[in-house]
Amino acid sequence: MATLETIETPPRRETWRSTTGYFLRRYPLGAAGAVIVAAFVLMALLAPWITQFDPTLTNPRVSLAYPGGDHPLGADFMGRDMWSRIVYGARISLAVGLGSTGLGCLFGVTIGLTSGYFGGWYDLLVQRLMDMMQSLPLLVMALVMTAALGPSLSNTIIAIAIPLVPSVARVIRSNTLMLRELPFVEASRAVGMNEFAIAIRHVLPNTLAPLIVLATAQLGSTILVEAALSFLGLGVPEPHPSWGRMLSESAAEYVRVAPWLVIFPGAAISLAVFGTNLLGDALRDILDPRQRD
């Protein structure tokens, strides 16, 4: 958020409040997105305090309980409280979303920065490799990766992170190519800095804006891919409550008798992704002036 405020702050006297107010007026949709994302983060952090039941606790007496009373969002076939499962599910979704986006960006930035800055045969080789990885749809690549790694929370994160690498590497590389020709790089070289130090100290910080835009945009799609993988039974395994898997469990049998088992987890996924997408759009408008309408 720090970058966002320094860039968008109007020239008049700046306070925390005036900046926020300006953001609200200029980007109402982005502000709504920020609120949604913040709500999900809070939900994940405060999970034990805002739920009454353990998300894995089964209770046959409330099997398929109607929403209301002790179970505001109802209970599933095994009598597990839906509200708890949704709240704890936010932890899984955010862990996978942030984890895989972070990991993908880490690899992508390293590859993009080095290949763009040093060029040569290394750059050629890396570009071909990125081409190959991009010829497979994200979900297909993630499916094959989960099959290769086996089902677990950390493997799901890796399986979603790897397919993200090429798009990050591409953006960082093209930015680096442009930046390394600029006078300040030459100046650093003239004062005797070594090449690695220039790449990290001077080029890298300047690629931050496009990286933030890209990472926010990818966050939503990683959450969606996790949901899809878990829905297909190849993502995060039990006992973790994953929104996607809740849908695959309830879909077939309970669509008729317990529609709330289908509605709530899906609504949670959609809202979380919608929030990150709104925020991502606003950040792109702010940080990437070329794309501004």
Partner 1 sequence: MAAYLIRRFLLMLLTLFGISIVIFALLRVVPGNIADILFSAAGMINPEDKLDIERQLGLDQPIYIQYVQWIAGLLHGDLGYSYVSEKPALDEILPRLPISGKLAAMALAFAVLFGIPLGVISAVRQNTLLDYVLRVVSLSGLSLPSFWLGLLILMLFVRYFGWIPIYTEPPKTWWNELVLFSIPAAAVGFRSSALMMRLTRSSMLEVLRQDYIRTARAKGASYAKVNFVHALRNAVLPIVTIVGIEAAFLVGGLIVTETVFNIPGVARFLVEAIKWRDYPIVQNLVMFIAVCVVSINFLIDMAYLALDPRIAYEK
Q: Based on the shown chain and the rule CB under 8 A, indicate whether residue 244 belongs to the binding site for partner 1.
A: yes
Contact in structure between 279 and 216 (CB atoms under 8 Å)? yes
Q: Residue 34's CB: how many other CB atoms inside 10 A? A: 22
DSSP string, 76-144: -TT--BHHHHHHHHHHHHHHHHHHHHHHHHHHHHHHHHHHHHH-HHHHHHHHHHHHHHHTS-HHHHHHH
Q: Which of 10, 21, 48, 150: binder of partner 1 (CB under 8 A)?
A: 150
Q: For residues 22-41, which are near partner 1 according to CB under 8 A?
A: 29
According to CB under 8 A, which residues from 253 to 272 bind partner 1?
A: 255-256, 259, 262-263, 266, 269-271
| Residue type, position 146, single letter | T
Min dist. Cβ of residue 8 to partner 1 (A): 18
Residue of 105, 273, 282, 286 that binds partner 1 (CB under 8 A): 273
Of 43-51, 90-98, 204-212, 232-240, which part binds partner 1 (CB under 8 A)? 232-240
**Binding residues with partner 1: total (CB under 8 A):** 45
Q: Closer CB to partner 1, residue 179 or residue 258? A: 258
Closest among 221, 224, 259, 256 to 243, alpha carbons compared? 224
The single residue among 231, 236, 242, 249 that binds partner 1, judged by CB under 8 A, is 231
Q: Which is nearer to partner 1, 122 or 196 (CB)?
A: 122
Cα dist from 262 to 25, 82, 98, whole Å: 36, 11, 25
Nearest C-alpha neighbor of 98 from the set 283, 205, 223, 248: 223
Q: Which residues bind partner 1 (CB under 8 A)?
A: 29, 128-129, 131-133, 135-140, 143-145, 147-148, 150, 220, 224, 227-228, 231-234, 244, 247, 251, 255-256, 259, 262-263, 266, 269-271, 273-274, 277-278, 281, 291, 293
